[in-house]
Amino acid sequence: MTHLMEKIKETAAFLKEKGMSAPQFGLILGSGLGELADEIENPIVMDYKDIPNWGRSTVVGHAGKLVYGDLAGKKVLALQGRFHFYEGNPLEVVTFPVRVMKALGCEGVLVTNAAGGIGYGPGTLMLISDHINFTGQNPLIGENLEEFGPRFPDMSNAYTKAYREVAHEVASSLGVDLKEGVYLGVTGPTYETPAEILAFKGMGAHAVGMSTVPEVIVAAHSGLKVLGISAITNFAAGFQSELNHDEVVEVTERIKEEFKTLIKAILAEL
């Protein structure tokens, strides 16, 4: 068994032993959106630092807790705070929780993030239809974990169509204006230049952000179904005069109630 596989099995067994057994869905909650995990009922909560082989979260707005329990009638395992490549985490660490979610038996993952809009403006909720991996990295480089999936995985349907249909139906029944588009992933931590954003627009991107792509690649590799939603917090570079993290935090704060309501309602229907 490869070293990584041993670590995944060890961590899954540890969490199971703590009572986190048979989750149906994994939730990966982005900047400022982690509050959703506070609504999980009958929670079992673990600090990241107490979980073997687990990474550490260093960004403000990312709590660094794993929360298991009931949400919208489903058993969920939620990451309150994800790991980013720009923090210096190897992609093996960034995507490790996704592999553990699979090992524990999850059917799908719901991935959320804050992103800059290319066309879409602050406050927009965008369902991710597809992504462009512009990180120059791939989390599957290295020995393939055959137990999870093939060496050359198909990414044609990484964002599960049936989940997207449910998301649109639920959004319209709630009166939420849910847009859809392509998420382009970069490593960060710099925001983009206006020239980069123009290039990304030409490539077909509707949103840009510093997360999600590695986790979704690993999820798709292992056959996990994926639903991705971006909270657009700002116009991407060049479409507004300047960018700063404060605006990202402020807009996330403004839309998080609508966001949480939408995610719970979607989860109930999956």
Catalytic residues: 31, 62, 84, 86-87, 114, 210-211, 234, 245
Q: Looking at the DSSP assignment, which residues form a beta bridge with residue 23? A: none
Task: Specify the amino acid at residue 192.
Answer: E
Question: What is the x/- site pattern for ligand HPA, positions 146-185, by CB under 6 A?
Answer: ----------------------------------------
Q: How far is the CB of 233 from ligand HPA (least distance, A)?
A: 5
Q: Given the complex with ligand HPA, which of 108 and 209 has the nearer CB atom?
A: 209
Q: Which two tokens stand for residue 77?
A: 């395992």
CB-based burial, 198-224: b 16+ in 10 Å, e otherwise: bebbeeebbbbbbbbbbbbbbbbbbeb
Q: Which of 115, 140, 158, 266 binds ligand HPA (CB under 6 A)?
A: 115
CA distance 37 to 90: 25
CA distance 224 to 233: 28
Q: How far is the CB of 118 from ligand HPA (least distance, A)?
A: 9
Q: Which two tokens stand for residue 86?
A: 């720009």
Q: How far is the CB of 113 from ligand HPA (least distance, A)?
A: 7
For residue 90, what are the contacts with CB-CB under 8 A and spacing of at least 6? none
Place of tokens 């900047």: 31
Q: Which of 110, 233, 259, 262 binds ligand HPA (CB under 6 A)?
A: 233
**Minimal CB distance to ligand HPA: which residue?**
116
Q: How far is the CB of 210 from ligand HPA (least distance, A)?
A: 5
Helix (H, G, I), strand (E, B) or coil at 76: strand
* DSSP type of residue 204: T
Q: Is 177 exposed, middle or buried (0-12, 13-18, 19+ CB in 10 A)?
A: exposed
Q: How many other C-beta atoms lie within 10 A of the C-beta of residue 147?
A: 14
- Count of residues binding ligand HPA (CB under 6 A)? 13
Is 116 a binding residue for ligand HPA by CB under 6 A? The answer is yes
Q: Given the complex with ligand HPA, which of 121 and 150 has the nearer CB atom?
A: 121
Question: What is the x/- site pattern for ligand HPA, positions 10-49, by CB under 6 A?
Answer: ----------------------------------------
Choose among 264, 122, 136: nearest CA to 210.
136
Is 234 a binding residue for ligand HPA by CB under 6 A? The answer is yes
Is 128 a binding residue for ligand HPA by CB under 6 A? The answer is no
Q: Which of residues 185-224 bind ligand HPA (CB under 6 A)?
A: 191-192, 208-210
Q: Looking at the DSSP assignment, which residues form a beta bridge with residue 109? A: 26, 226
Q: How far is the CB of 64 from ligand HPA (least distance, A)?
A: 19
Q: How far is the CB of 245 from ligand HPA (least distance, A)?
A: 8
Applying CB under 6 A, the residues found at the interface with ligand HPA are: 114-116, 191-192, 208-210, 233-234, 236, 243, 248
